[in-house]
Chain A
Amino acid sequence: MLRLFGLAALAALAGGVASVERKGALQLMLSRPIVLAPLMGWLLGDVEGGLMLGVPLELLFLGGVNLGGSLPDNETLLAAALTSMVIPAGMAAGTGVDAPLAALGLTLLFPLALYGRRLERASEARNQQLLDAALARAAQGDAAAARVNLRGLLLPFSSRRFLPGCGASARQGHSRPSRGRGTPSGPWGRRAPCAPSATSAPPPSRQSPPRRSSPSS
């Protein structure tokens, strides 16, 4: 059980770091599926399986580029979720990652690429609050107003590490994804109707764990 949560936490961390690296920081392409999938495979114990998932995913999303204000489908979220579900599933089935399992996982999880774009769009809209904060501080004569910049990384990190984490834990068949990790907090659920939390619709007050407060508050 402890190992399970360890795996989930590792997957979550890798997914969160990748979602930040994708656009907000560095952009060394560490968040592309061909890198992320083997990396998460290594964390979860099957690096070859990760590579087997990563190469076709990379080719599928070869043309996904972020030009100006337009956003591509979020292949990072898909790669992270797919790896963290298919690899434990392959280990549980004893077959490792094979083609049918990978195809099934891709079919089931592909909407996450579209959902990831919505998340990204939402977090960009949320960044306007950071802009407002910076403008307000600059108006008061604060020369370091733009330091709020790095706070823009918190929201993608905390929101997008959730999915790979629950993927890794759910697939082992021991725990429900909602346990211990929480569901996406209120605004996320409401902005994106296809969010997993919106379908079950628990009362919003119970839904936000205190540690995932909005970065701009």
Chain B
Amino acid sequence: MEATAAARAVRRVSTGTLARAFFRSLFLQAAWNPRGMQNVGFADAIAPALEELYPDPAERAKAAARHLEFFNCHPYLAAAILGGAIRLEERVAAGEAPPESVSRFKTTLGPPFAALGDGFFWLALRPVAALAAAVTEPFLGLGCVLVFLGLYNAVHLPVRVWLFATGYSRGEGVVDAVARAHFASGTPLLKACGALLAGALVARSLLEAGLPHRPFHVLLVASTIVVAYAFLPGLGVTRVTYIAALLGLALGARFF
């Protein structure tokens, strides 16, 4: 076994196969299920690479079965893990590394990358893009849809490709590359931008809804928030804001 393993050179996966794997990774969550989460999608995405690396059908099936283990990550950052896993599989196929190293790589990096991606993409980038679109909507009209899609995908798509490429070229070194990629430092900055945009949006809507003709309504809505929060602390800020927003909507619709 040792002799044959040493005799095999490390086989590289071709660029076309990498592209196929990346394309399939866009469908990572198609069969998301509570037991294995993204495992079916991941196994499907890595299948083209396995096909090239393991010419022997029995070995290939064994490798494919390995990738049906539990896997969960952020759908975008999973691209980095996919790229790294392909690099590791090259070594496993050449006999340089044990098959468990791939599993270990996936289970170790999944949760931290998921946290990074959730914070950056879901909780910062998307709200900011949506708020920017909402703020520009009065000026751009339908163009605001393009603002949303443009802002979001101008970051999302290059990052996804970069993650996959870096994962493949660095293997286990992808951790350092991602750590230096300003995900963690960019998140608070984006969130601050989001807060700013949200404030601008609220101010504009309030001005538009109340001030020209009915300043008292704005005052009423604002004082509802303050009074309810002061006297009914059990209600919580979110509910108070919603109640006040409902009141504002009712006033705005001229029900009374």
The verdict on A201 contacting chain B, using a C-beta distance below 8 Å, is no
How many residues belonging to B are interface residues under a CB distance threshold of 8 Å? 60
In the bound complex, residues from chain B placing their C-beta under 8 Å from that of A4 are none
**Chain A: minimal CB distance from B95 (Å):** 19
The verdict on B212 contacting chain A, using a C-beta distance below 8 Å, is no
Task: List residues of B (181-197) whose CB comes within 8 Å of A's CBs.
Answer: none
Task: List residues of B (17-68) whose CB comes within 8 Å of A's CBs.
Answer: 24, 26-27, 29-37, 39-44, 47, 50-51, 54, 57-58, 60-61, 63-65, 67-68
In the bound complex, residues from chain A placing their C-beta under 8 Å from that of B127 are 62-63
Q: DSSP majority for the B interface? A: helix
The verdict on B210 contacting chain A, using a C-beta distance below 8 Å, is no
Q: Which of B4-12, B83-91, B129-137, B217-225 contacts A (4 or more CB under 8 A)?
A: B129-137
**Chain A: minimal CB distance from B139 (Å):** 13
The verdict on A32 contacting chain B, using a C-beta distance below 8 Å, is yes
**Chain B: minimal CB distance from A26 (Å):** 5
Interface string of A49-84 (1 = CB under 8 A from B): 001001100110011011111000000000000000
In the bound complex, residues from chain B placing their C-beta under 8 Å from that of A24 are 27, 29-30, 32
- A146 CA to B49 CA, complexed, in Å: 13
- A73 CA to B44 CA, complexed, in Å: 28
Name the contact of B33 in the complex, choosing from A27, A65, A99, A124 (C-beta under 8 A): A124
Q: Which of A5-13, A131-139, A182-190 contacts B (4 or more CB under 8 A)?
A: A131-139
- Residues of B at the A interface (CB closer than 8 Å) are 24, 26-27, 29-37, 39-44, 47, 50-51, 54, 57-58, 60-61, 63-65, 67-68, 72, 75-76, 114, 118, 122-123, 126-127, 129-131, 133-134, 137, 141-142, 144-145, 148-149, 152-153, 156-157, 201, 249, 252-253
A-B contact pairs, 14 of them (CB 8 A): A24-B32, A26-B26, A28-B153, A34-B145, A58-B134, A69-B37, A69-B72, A127-B40, A143-B51, A144-B64, A148-B31, A149-B30, A150-B27, A151-B30
Given A24-B27, A134-B68, A146-B41; 6 other pairs, CB 8 A cutoff? A25-B29, A25-B30, A32-B126, A34-B144, A62-B127, A125-B33
